[in-house]
């Protein structure tokens, strides 16, 4: 917590899905290099908060600031660019493209940014190696185990050297051993590269990996707790 | 300035190359369903190109010509205009078929492209990749049909005019461009959010497809009208010019009514049966109809339209043949009987071709709907629902909303036929052609058969392994 200026800050976020209010004035800050866990019961608004912070969903009211820029006011093109270069996203499942091999999936953000195929595959291969799934590089997601697929997703989120990784229940579909492998890999690489992590989870064991924990209840932050 | 322009164009080319590579990788890694989509799209594009090329080539002829095919039907502007009109009308089921092909794997493709957005692809990039995935299939079909058509054209026509060549070029380029553009437009919902893959698709109202259908039909109708008016100038009387247009208008009105009735029936029957169903298959079918009542209307729109045309034609044919025999008996027949019957037979053949195309599209659509729902169906099987129950539910989903819609299309088509016969016959007393009612019965049976063709696919889709993948 040496840097007091937040890298990413949300103030008084309000977001409704139809008549259901998912967020009701939630505020949260993420500092550079910090691992922040957002916990709460199912339906408390955790995922909606992550979507707003990652610029995937625009809030109905309130603000999201990233590096001095108002994310909630940025055009779609700039948001896409941020997701490609400075943000990495890991969900519970589904973000890998079934038609592409693990190597192509990891190289995807680089290829979309115009990096040459050789460079993109080279860097993707390095990340698969670091996360222990180099042997699965030519497999498609359907042929991998849940843990392998999730580590591949993690490699894709980290391949561009992002400043923030958004992880929404990254271990939600995994057994305890695979969960531990994924969380260890995420925390280790984030610490090594100084990447901030916003971790959404309902699992206390997963939240224990974070520097700080924020609890959401009915769309508002109900408690702050330093865990490390 | 020139260096900025050159850098910008180099960047664009590089970006296009990247997107092309991405589209190729996605295509290469696709499953069998995606390859089916591309094969059928190429086939549909080839059909559309072939028919459009025949229409524009005939449209480029002016005045009387000796055409070596068609039993003299293509020699005079008046009869030629009728053939062009028939060709343009034939384009409608072909476009419907292409539309069905585009829907194969649509939900899966939507998710995939939303995943691309999540990885940082811009909305424009996603549209371009989608267009590059569909464009080559359309291009392949279009090029194949153009090559065959040009060879045939050069054999039949010594020196095709510049107008004919212009038409050929426009169609050859237009079909793949339109196909690619349509696939990009179809992705507007996914492009809006990278979270498209986790969102449940809401049941659509009938308004969107209805407007699209109406728009496409009006466009084709306008082109047909312009072509017929232009080609048949000075050869037909005022009264004869208006009657086909009125018939076309009535056909569209009855067809649209039947499509609406299919949707409305699905909604009503779905709500009613969901409350009162006593068997599992009826309950599953009712819930499905209630969940997406316009699915049946969308899938069967082209079938219903062809039913109206087919029933009307059978009635008209019966009355016209009787009239022709009367004319021959009285010695008022201007040409050989074969001249008139060839026209009728060609129209019958065109309607049969159209029916075959729309039934193929229906089979494709039913299989697609099944593939889209395979996870839900696999979950039902895993929960112990027997396969026969699901098969019956699938057939009920087709049979229930289609029954009143086909009945309306059939009676409407017959009424149009009777009316047309009444105002055009002079040598015989018009009678009600009850034989025409066999057409809706046959169409209804064929629709159920087309739905039944997807049952083998149902068996494969029900494997609990389908639950493994999102």
| Structure confidence by residue, pLDDT tens digits, A103-128 | 999 998 888 888 888 899 999 999 99
> Is position B207 within any domain?
no
Tell me, what's the pLDDT at B197?
Answer: 45
Which of B138, B160, B163 is closest to B149 using CA atoms? B160
B25 near A CB under 8 A = yes
Tell me, what's the pLDDT at B71?
Answer: 66
Tokens, residue B445 = 């049976």
Is A111 in Cβ contact with B122 (below 8 Å)? no
Residues B173 and B292 in one domain: no
Contacts for B390 with CB less than 8 Å, ≥ 6 apart? B281, B284, B377, B380, B381, B458, B462
> Is position B7 within any domain?
no
Q: Mutation test of the interface with chain A: which of B16, B19, B34, B118, choosing the one with the most A Cβ atoms within 10 A? A: B118
d(CA B245, CA B222): 11
Residues B184 and B282 in one domain: no
Tell me, what's the pLDDT at A115?
Answer: 85
* DSSP, res B363: H
Closest chain A residue to B129 measured between Cα atoms? A112
Cβ atoms of residues B102 and B41 within 8 Å: yes
d(CA B38, CA B96): 16
**At which of B179, B202, B225 does a domain end?**
B202
Q: Report, as an integer, the average pLDDT of B380-390.
A: 80
Residues B245 and B390 in one domain: yes
Q: Convert B435-465 to b/e letters by CB count within 10 Å (16 or more is b).
A: ebbebbeebbebbeebbbebbeebeebbeee
Query: Which residue has 């997107």 as its token pair?
Result: B19
Residues B330 and B448 in one domain: yes
> Is position B3 within any domain?
no
B27 contact residues in A (CB cutoff 8 A): 99
A86 near B CB under 8 A = no
User: pLDDT tens digits, residue range B14-61?
Assistant: 777 888 888 888 877 777 667 777 888 898 889 889 989 988 888 888
> Is position A10 within any domain?
no
Measured over the CA atoms of residue B108, residue B110, residue B114 and residue B116, the dihedral's sign is: positive
CA angle centred on A16, ends A11 and A20, rounded to 5°: 130
Tell me, what's the pLDDT at B144?
Answer: 94
Residue A202 has a CB neighbour count (10 Å cut-off) of 15
pTM for this one? 0.65
Average pLDDT, chain A: 87
Tokens, residue B265 = 């029936």
d(CA A154, CA A92): 11
| Confidence tier at A14 by pLDDT (50, 70, 90) | very high
d(CA B101, CA B96): 9
Which of B434, B407, B404, B442 is closest to B418 using CA atoms? B434
A117 contact residues in B (CB cutoff 8 A): 21
Q: Which helix (H) or strand (E) holds B226?
A: helix B207-231
Which of B255, B270, B237, B457 is closest to B364 using CA atoms? B457
> Is position A57 within any domain?
no
- Which of A77, A140, A156 is closest, CB to CB, to B119? A156
B115 contact residues in A (CB cutoff 8 A): 94-97
B113 contact residues in A (CB cutoff 8 A): none
Q: Report, as an integer, the average pLDDT of B133-161.
A: 85
Residues B386 and B454 in one domain: yes
A114 near B CB under 8 A = yes
Residue A184 has a CB neighbour count (10 Å cut-off) of 11
The whole domain housing A112 covers: 95-152
Q: Is the pLDDT of residue B408 over 60?
A: yes
> Is position B416 within any domain?
yes
A51 contact residues in B (CB cutoff 8 A): 195
User: pLDDT tens digits, residue range B273-313?
Assistant: 888 888 888 888 888 888 888 888 877 888 888 899 889 88
The whole domain housing B464 covers: 237-470
Residues B191 and B296 in one domain: no
> Is position A11 within any domain?
no
Instruction: Indicate the burial class of B429 (C-beta count within 10 angstroms; 0-12, 13-18, 19 or more).
Output: exposed
SS3 category, A22: strand
Query: Nearest-CA distance from A4 to chain B in Å?
Result: 29
Q: Is the pLDDT of residue B234 over 70?
A: no
Closest chain A residue to B26 measured between Cα atoms? A99
Q: Is the pLDDT of residue B202 over 50?
A: no
Query: Nearest-CA distance from B133 to chain A in Å?
Result: 13
A76 contact residues in B (CB cutoff 8 A): 122-123
> Is position A125 within any domain?
yes
> Is position A212 within any domain?
no
> Is position A8 within any domain?
no
Query: Nearest-CA distance from A50 to chain B in Å?
Result: 12
Q: Report, as an integer, the average pLDDT of A69-77.
A: 88
Tokens, residue A150 = 């999730």
d(CA B232, CA B81): 6
A143 near B CB under 8 A = no
Residues B72 and B191 in one domain: yes
Q: Is the pLDDT of residue B137 over 50?
A: yes
Q: Report, as an integer, the average pLDDT of B173-197.
A: 68
Q: Is the pLDDT of residue B107 over 70?
A: no
B14 near A CB under 8 A = yes
Q: Report, as an integer, the average pLDDT of B371-397.
A: 80
B118 near A CB under 8 A = yes
> Is position A158 within any domain?
no
Q: Which helix (H) or strand (E) holds B238?
A: helix B238-276
- Which of A80, A111, A142 is closest, CB to CB, to B22? A111
B115 near A CB under 8 A = yes
Q: Mutation test of the interface with chain A: which of B119, B124, B127, B202, choosing the one with the most A Cβ atoms within 10 A? A: B119
Q: Is the pLDDT of residue B444 over 70?
A: yes
Residues B196 and B341 in one domain: no
A111 contact residues in B (CB cutoff 8 A): 18, 21-22
> Is position A65 within any domain?
no
Report the domain count for chain B.
Answer: 2
Report the domain count for chain A.
Answer: 1
Q: Convert B47-78 to b/e letters by CB count within 10 Å (16 or more is b).
A: bbbbbbbbbbbbbbbeeeeebeeeebbbbebb
In this prediction, what percent of chain B has a pLDDT beyond 90? Answer: 6
Is A80 in Cβ contact with B123 (below 8 Å)? yes
In this prediction, what percent of chain A has a pLDDT beyond 70? Answer: 95
- Which of A77, A99, A104 is closest, CB to CB, to B30? A99
């Amino acid at each position: 917590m040496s840097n007091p200026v937040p890298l990413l800050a949300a103030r008084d976020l309000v977001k409704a899905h139809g008549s259901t209010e998912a967020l009701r004035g939630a505020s949260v800050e993420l500092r550079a290099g910090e691992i922040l866990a957002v916990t709460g019961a199912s339906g408390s608004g955790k995922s909606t908060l992550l979507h707003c912070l990652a610029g995937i969903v625009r809030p109905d009211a309130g603000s999201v600031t990233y590096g001095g820029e108002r994310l909630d006011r940025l055009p779609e093109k700039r948001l896409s660019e941020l997701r490609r270069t400075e943000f990495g996203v890991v969900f519970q499942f589904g973000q890998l493209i079934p038609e592409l091999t693990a190597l192509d999936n990891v190289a995807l953000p680089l290829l979309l940014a115009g990096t040459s195929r050789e460079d993109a595959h080279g860097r993707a291969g390095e990340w698969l190696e670091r996360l222990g799934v180099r042997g699965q590089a030519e497999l498609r997601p359907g042929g991998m185990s849940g843990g392998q697929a999730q580590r591949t997703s993690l490699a894709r989120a980290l391949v561009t050297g992002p400043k923030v990784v958004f992880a929404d229940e990254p271990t939600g579909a995994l057994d305890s051993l695979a969960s531990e492998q994924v969380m260890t890999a995420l925390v280790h690489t984030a610490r090594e590269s100084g990447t901030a992590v916003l971790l959404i989870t309902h699992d206390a064991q997963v939240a224990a990996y974070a520097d700080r924990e924020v609890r959401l209840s009915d769309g508002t932050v109900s408690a702050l707790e330093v865990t490390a | 300035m020139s260096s900025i322009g050159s850098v910008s164009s180099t960047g664009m080319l590089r970006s296009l190359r990247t997107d092309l590579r991405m589209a190729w990788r996605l295509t290469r890694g696709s499953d069998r369903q995606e390859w089916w989509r591309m094969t059928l799209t190429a086939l549909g594009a080839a059909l559309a190109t072939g028919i459009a090329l025949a229409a524009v080539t005939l449209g480029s002829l002016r005045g009387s010509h000796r055409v070596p095919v068609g039993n003299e039907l293509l020699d005079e502007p008046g009869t030629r205009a009728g053939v062009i009109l028939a060709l343009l009308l034939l384009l409608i089921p072909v476009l419907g078929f292409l539309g069905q092909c585009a829907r194969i794997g649509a939900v899966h493709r939507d998710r995939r492209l939303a995943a691309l957005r999540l990885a940082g692809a811009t909305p424009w990039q996603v549209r371009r990749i989608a267009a590059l995935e569909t464009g080559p299939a359309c291009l392949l079909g279009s090029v194949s049909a153009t090559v065959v058509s040009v060879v045939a054209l050069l054999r039949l026509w010594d020196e095709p005019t510049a107008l004919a060549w212009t038409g050929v070029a426009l169609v050859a380029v237009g079909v793949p461009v339109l196909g690619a553009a349509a696939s990009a437009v179809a992705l507007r919902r996914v492009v809006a959010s990278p979270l498209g893959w986790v969102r449940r698709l809401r049941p659509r109202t009938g308004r969107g497809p209805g407007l699209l259908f109406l728009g496409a039909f009006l466009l084709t109708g306008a082109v047909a009208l312009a072509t017929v008016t232009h080609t048949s100038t000075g050869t037909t009387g005022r009264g004869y010019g208006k009657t086909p247009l009125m018939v076309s208008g009535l056909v569209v009105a009855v067809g649209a009514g039947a499509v609406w009735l299919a949707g409305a029936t699905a909604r009503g029957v779905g709500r009613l049966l969901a409350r009162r169903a006593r068997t599992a298959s009826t309950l599953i079918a009712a819930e499905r109809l209630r969940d997406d009542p316009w699915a049946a209307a969308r899938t069967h729109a082209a079938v219903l339209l062809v039913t109206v045309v087919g029933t009307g034609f059978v009635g008209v044919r019966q009355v016209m043949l009787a009239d022709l025999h009367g004319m021959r008996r009285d010695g008022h027949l201007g040409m050989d009987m074969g001249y008139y019957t060839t026209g009728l037979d060609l129209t019958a053949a065109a309607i049969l071709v159209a029916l075959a195309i729309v039934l193929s599209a229906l089979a494709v659509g039913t299989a697609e709907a099944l593939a889209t729902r395979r996870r839900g169906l696999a979950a039902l099987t895993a929960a112990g629902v027997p396969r026969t129950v699901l098969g019956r539910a699938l057939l009920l989903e087709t049979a229930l909303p289609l029954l009143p819609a086909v009945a309306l299309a059939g009676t409407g088509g017959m009424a149009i036929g009777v009316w047309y016969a009444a105002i055009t016959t002079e040598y015989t007393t018009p009678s009600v052609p009850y034989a025409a009612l066999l057409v809706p019965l046959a169409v209804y049976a064929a629709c159920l058969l087309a739905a039944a063709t997807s049952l083998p696919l149902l068996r494969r889709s029900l494997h609990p392994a389908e639950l493994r993948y999102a």
